[in-house]
Structure 1
Amino acid sequence: MKIGIAANVNRMPTPNYNLDYANYTARVFIDLLQKHGILPIIIPMASFDMIPDYVGLIDGLIIPGGQDVHPKLFHEETNQKAEAHYLPHDQWEMGLVREMLRRQKPLLGICRGLQLINVTLGGTLYQDIATDFPESEIQHVYHEHPKDNFHEIRVRSDSALAHSVGSHLVVNSIHHQALKKVASDVHVTARSSDGVVEAVENDAATIMGVQWHPELLWQKDRRQEQLFLDFFDRAKD
């Protein structure tokens, strides 16, 4: 089996010119896929006419975390608290999502990946939770401790996600954006106690997105690993 990982794009200043706009992915994804005998395919940002060929290579696609999704894509002006955007990268990944959906191949979105899938399907985002959703009582940004669990989420018991992780889970949290209007093609399967959407899926669970980072937790939490294993099973079908 082959699982694609949509590459991030480095836009940070670096003394190594080879790393300017370098395409990369986190090592934790490679380790996870290799452990289960799956061939990782890192999909770089390339020409749009290559999207069908890339999607044809893979059985499922992971869209990982990264920079904010550009608010232009959900018809809003940029919030002053917004962080780095890179519109061409957003548009590239949206193209990947659409082609995966067209071919009915499974998608797993993580953090930004969840948000990007929602926007691709017609949903919108809170650009900054603290500004746009002040009733939130939970701190959702813990960059200093990405591998630590910080808050509980409640999972719908009849969801595919609950089959993987159960109805209660404590998760890490590294996001300042969140889903606002949820796209009609998916439904909410998990929320934190303040109402922030923590996961969505469609009826067949071929689309699933989570707001936390299970790739940083799977080595110490079997339920987080099971989330990926169930995704791999869907990709086999």
Structure 2
Amino acid sequence: MEVDDEELKQQFLKIQQAKTVEETRDAVEEAASNLALLGSLTVVRSLSDRDDILDSSLQYYLEGRLEAPLRQLQEGLDTLGVLQALQRDSALWNFFIGGPPAPLTAKTLTDLFKVRYSERGTSWRLQEERAVGQWRDWLIDLQGGDAVVTVEDTEVKVTFESVLMFATGTDRIPALGFDPEPTLEFLHVPVNGSPQMYPVANTCGLVLRLPLHASYESFNESMTLGIVQSPHFGLA
């Protein structure tokens, strides 16, 4: 913020441009009344005192100018409940200040998707719990860079961003979150008499349907190939 008081601005410039201790003392004496109000009037013994006077004066001046508007902004945000939301959610805070989105991790995606299980005690529920365990292990492998497939003699790695793009149509979590909440479902029903081997997504409903495999190795291959061969990945 610029100093808009012309007299004070000229006094600050004169202090700043002083080349000797004597010139600094003269400039400080000329601005003594204003410096006293800013709590920055002090004895000048060296040129470093000149810089200290300027720093403390400008800080006090700017803080004083900003105090009232900031208090009004804080009161407004607090009344609307926005301030509390900003304090709770770092992603929302980054949205307001223009900061970068938080990096995606295995835990981020694990927490993001709500699992829709079948009833407890059913055979489907046992298959689903196994698939969720495989899904979480697969995300950990993604984080470690171990989810790699070879496509046309080229190794391709799946990233968290590509998984999110496959499931939701976007490669980042919106600052205000998804609506509706992303969910995990399961591919129990065969197609043309054959089990569904690869993941299926409904990006409009934000639903990711996991295939059911007896082994983690098979699940890992099907998930990785399913993501790599999707249109969003660019290799389909």
User: Higher relative CO (CA 8 A, sep ≥ 6), structure 1 or 2?
Assistant: 1
Per the shorter chain, which TM-score range?
A: under 0.3
Higher strand share: 1
Larger radius of gyration: 2
Higher helix share: 2
What TM-score comes out, normalization by structure 1 length? 0.23
